[in-house]
Each structure stands twice: as C-alpha cells, then as structure tokens.
Amino acid sequence: MSLLTHARTMARYNAWMNEKIYQAASGLSDKARKEDRGAFFGSLHGTLNHILWGDLIWLQRFATAEWDAPALEGLSFDPVSSKTIHKTEVFADFAALTAERAVIDAAIEEWADTNLTEDILTSDLNFWHTFRNKDMTLPMGLCVSHLFNHQTHHRGQATTLLSQMGVDAGATDMIAMPRED
C-alpha cells in the first residue's frame, strides 16, 4: 500500500471513528462528558477538544505550505492561535464541537482524496513548532502519519473514558470499517 493510499484510508477511518465516538458521547449528559476523570485532558469533552485542536494545528500547517490545498481553504484556524496548548477548549458546547468535527473530518477526507499527492508526501514540510518555539522541517509523509496517529492515540483514550461510563462505542479496529468497494 502506498503512503498516499494509506493516508486516504486513514482519513476515512478518522471520519468513521469520530462519528462513532461522537454518537456514543451524545447519549451522555454534558456534566458526564465534562467530568474530570483523570485523563490527559481531564474529561471526555477535553479529550475530544484536544483531538480537534491537534487536527487544526496540523491542517493549518498543511494549508499554509507551498502546495495547493483548496480542500482546507475556508476552515477557521482561530483556535490554534492560542499558546495554551493542552488547556485549549475549542468549543465548550458539545453540539458546536460535534458540528465542527464533522466539518473538519470532511475537509481531511477531501484534502487526502483531491489535494494530497505522492510528490507532496515525499517532500519536506517547513513549519513553526508551537511546543519547541522554533522553525522545523520534517518529511511531509511523517507529518501526515502523525496527524492520524495523534487522532488514534487520543480516540483510544476517549473509548476508554466512554467504557468507564458504561458506553460501548463498538468496534474500533480499522479492519471493521465498512469498505468502499
């Protein structure tokens, strides 16, 4: 499987899993979603916000790189201007968070399907690293892989939090994702 095919598969997986997680979380009260449960970002709501925040950081970097990324145009990157990395709450309201998640997932899928190429994936990405407070250059393929790995890592935490609250999000394995063919 090529890196491009993998990125496109991961974009589909990301959207599929986010829909499952958000659907499972929608049955909980706002209080339950926001209760500090000792996770990296405190609550399920905090974890979901962090995933979206991380996606926005990377998508902003991709959108402002030297390659055309029409699928990312029009996205709001305002939330990622904050220097308060781990405490950033993109949306306090779950309905707004859910709606933005769907917008971002659609943009990621469109970007992977129509803007991302093997040439881009084998190029370097130059960007400002917020944590290290310096310019960085990394292989774009690594950056795209990191975008999806970061999502998967924190969604694993989200499914654990849901499980602790008695909610089963269902199968999370990529091979359980409905196939397009």
Q: What is the DSSP string of 91-139?
A: -SSHHHHHHHHHHHHHHHHHIIIII--HHHHTSEEEEEETTTTEEEEEE
In a domain, 133, yes or no: yes
If pLDDT is split at 50, 70 and 90, which confidence band does 83 have?
A: low
**Beta strand pairing status for 134-139 and 124-129?**
antiparallel
Give the pLDDT score at 61.
93
Q: Number of folded domains in the chain?
A: 1
In a domain, 119, yes or no: yes
In a domain, 112, yes or no: yes
In a domain, 135, yes or no: yes
Average pLDDT over residues 11-33: 98
In a domain, 47, yes or no: yes
Please tell me the distance from the alpha carbon of residue 173 to that of residue 53, in angstroms, as a whole number: 24
Give the pLDDT score at 128.
83
pLDDT at 24 over 70: yes
In a domain, 88, yes or no: yes
Give the pLDDT score at 173.
92
If pLDDT is split at 50, 70 and 90, which confidence band does 82 have?
A: low
Which residue segment(s) compose the domain that 84 sits in? Answer: 3-176
> In this structure, what are the phi and psi dihedrals at residue 27, rounded to the nearest 5 degrees?
-80, -5
Q: Which CATH number does the domain housing residue 87 bear?
A: 1.20.120.450
Provide CB contacts within 8 A for 35, sequence distance 6+: 43
In a domain, 181, yes or no: no
In a domain, 91, yes or no: yes
In the chain, what is the greatest distance between 2 CA atoms, to the nearest angstrom? 46
